[in-house]
Amino acid sequence: MFQNTFEYKPYERDGKTFHLLTALEHPWLNVQIIPFPESEHDEAIAKIKAQPTIGWVIEHPTRRDFAVIHAGGSAKLHFTQENVEQLCADMKQCLRNAALWWADHNPQ
């Protein structure tokens, strides 16, 4: 398992603010934090997963007020048949690391 360093940049579009984290090292992902009320956790997760363009949805192990998704980046990754499983595992680990980072920097 590896750690990531993240840079946080809020991004505004159409009057909405999006919380984006960028991993500053492998696998260089852009990660979107999707906050929601804890009381709406199950419904929010279901809605996120129902989106056809959403891949992995990662939740924090104990917090129920946000989820993280892959929002782009990783242009430096070159997938081959030999490395696809490892790179996908690295991307999922980066998303888990982003969830931990967000929770540490944004207490409830």
| Residue ranges covered by each domain of the chain | 6-105
Q: pLDDT class for 82, splitting at 50, 70, 90?
A: very high
pLDDT digits (tens, 9 = 90+) for 58-72: 999 999 999 999 988
Query: pLDDT, tens digit, for every residue of 16-65?
Result: 999 999 999 999 999 999 999 999 999 999 999 999 988 899 999 999 99
Phi, psi of 104 (to 5 degrees): -65, -35
Closest CA to 91 of 56, 61, 45: 56
Question: Position 12: which residue type?
Answer: E
